[in-house]
Structure 1
Amino acid sequence: MKLDLLVLAVHPDDAELGCSGTIIKHIAQGKKVGIVDFTKGELGTRGTIETRAEESKNASAIMGIHARENIGIRDGFFKNDEEHQLQVVQMIRKYQPEIILTNALYDRHPDHGRASDLANDAIFLSGLRKIETSVDGIVQEPWRPRLTLQYIQDTYIKPDIIIDISEQMEQKIAAIRAFKTQFDSPSEDEPQTYISTPGFLQSVIARAREMGKNIGAEYGEGFTSRKLLGVDSLFDLR
């Protein structure tokens, strides 16, 4: 299946936290959107691989995405090397997206910045015809998206562009809350973590409100770009 928009995320729930409003908005516009998670989030303090998989399924249904896969690389210890780059290249060539959204350039969680670099390198390599990959015995064609952006996660990064997600905010929060072992979920059986406190989800909402304020909207999601962005008309800007 060819996708219009592909989200690359190192952990299940990164896409929901970082750009689910944008995902939902583009699906409403008729775009085909998918997510490829790099790891199963097995190092997460709360929950299990099985609960995270079920939560990902539920969040996907809330967002209405068209495809979701998990590469299954090692959480916390993966490297930006040839083996992992080729795994990501296979996914890019499989879905042939016009636009890719991926992890933050840097963040308090070291996996995020490392995954962003891995994705960026794989995106470039995916366009080289002399790099051969195949899926189920079928040789893949080279593919490179026309645009790559990074969503902003926990660490504050000044965005290069902000998407108005005011109408999608309620659905975004529902998608995040689908990860019920992770967020705003008191438990006597598991330890409290930085992201499981009510204050963390409140900070996500506050960040979206702050992003929105910058473009005259109620809520927004910010993105960075490694290259300068261009538009056909000044009237496309606000």
Structure 2
Amino acid sequence: MKLDILAFGSHPDDVELGCGATIAKEISFGKKVGVVDLTRGELGTRGSAEIRDKEASASARILGVSARENMEFSDGFFVNDKVHQLEIIKMIRKYRPEIVLCNAIDDRHIDHAKGSKLVSDACFLSGLRKIDTKFDGDDQWQEAWRPKFVYHYIQWKNIKPDFVVDVSGFIDKKIEAIKAYSSQFFDPGSEEPQTPISSVNFFDSVNYRARDLGRLIGVEHAEGFTVERYLGVNSLSDLV
């Protein structure tokens, strides 16, 4: 299955929090979008890997993504090395996306920046024909493939975006997808330990960040991204 967009997250829920509304909007345009979680989030204070597996599946159905996979890398301890890069390359060559979305370039959780660089490096390496890969269970050699664009969504830290996407009308879908992770976020009836992301303030911040970015470009809601190279437009009228 060839996808238009492949979104990577170090943990289940990273993609939803960072760019869930953008994904929902692109799917509404008929784009095929997939999500790849690098870990199962097994070191998370709340819930468990098994619970988060189910939550990720539920969230994928809400967003309407075409595929969702988990690399099962070690939460907290995966590294950006050849072994992990080759596994990401296999996934990129499997789905051949034009656009890759990945974690924030700098963030509170150490896995986010690590995941960001790992996926970015793998996107480049995936285009090198002399790197041979076979997808697990398949006897066919994969063809080289390099995505045209790599964009990094924004997470805990308020990184200044290089561009923002108008997601007005899709914030409710994003919130619904995030709420699928009921073990992780605010729940007044939960007896689990409190974490930085389980507070009311954090959950509210998802909406008010989108509203603030939207305010800056004159729309209701927006999501921000950073880029690794210059963005190009055909004309000034392409800008919102």
Fold-level similarity (TM above 0.5): yes
> What is the 5 A alignment of 1:26-175?
26-135=26-135, 136-175=138-177
Equivalent residue of 1:8, what SS?
strand
User: Cα deviation per residue 1:116-167 (whole Å; 9 max; x = unaligned)?
Assistant: 0001110000000000000122210000011110000010100011001111
Give the superposition deviation at 1:80. Answer: 0.3
- 2:211 is the counterpart of 1:209: yes
Equivalent residue of 1:114, what SS?
helix
Any gaps of 5 or more consecutive residues in structure 2?
Answer: none
User: Cα deviation per residue 1:14-67 (whole Å; 9 max; x = unaligned)?
Assistant: 000000100000000000000011000000000011110110011001100000
TM-score, normalised on structure 2?
Answer: 0.98
Aligned residues: 238
Tell me the percent identity.
54
TM-score, normalised on structure 1?
Answer: 0.98
Bigger shift: 193-202 or 180-189? 180-189
Give the superposition deviation at 1:114. Answer: 0.8
CA distance in 2, matches of 1:80, 1:147: 20
User: Cα deviation per residue 1:58-103 (whole Å; 9 max; x = unaligned)?
Assistant: 1001100000000100000010000000000000000000000000
- 2:223 is the counterpart of 1:227: no
Any gaps of 5 or more consecutive residues in structure 1?
Answer: none
> In the alignment, which residue of structure 1 is the partner of 2:21?
21
CA distance in 2, matches of 1:227, 1:185: 40
Give the superposition deviation at 1:188. Answer: 4.8
CA distance in 2, matches of 1:176, 1:188: 17
Report the aligned-residue RMSD: 0.8
Equivalent residue of 1:224, what SS?
strand
Equivalent residue of 2:70, what SS?
strand
CA distance in 2, matches of 1:61, 1:147: 26
Q: Which amino acid aligns with 2:22?
A: T
Q: Which amino acid aligns with 1:184?
A: F
Give the superposition deviation at 1:189. Answer: 3.2
Equivalent residue of 1:120, what SS?
helix
Bigger shift: 183-192 or 201-210? 183-192
> In the alignment, which residue of structure 1 is the partner of 2:196?
194
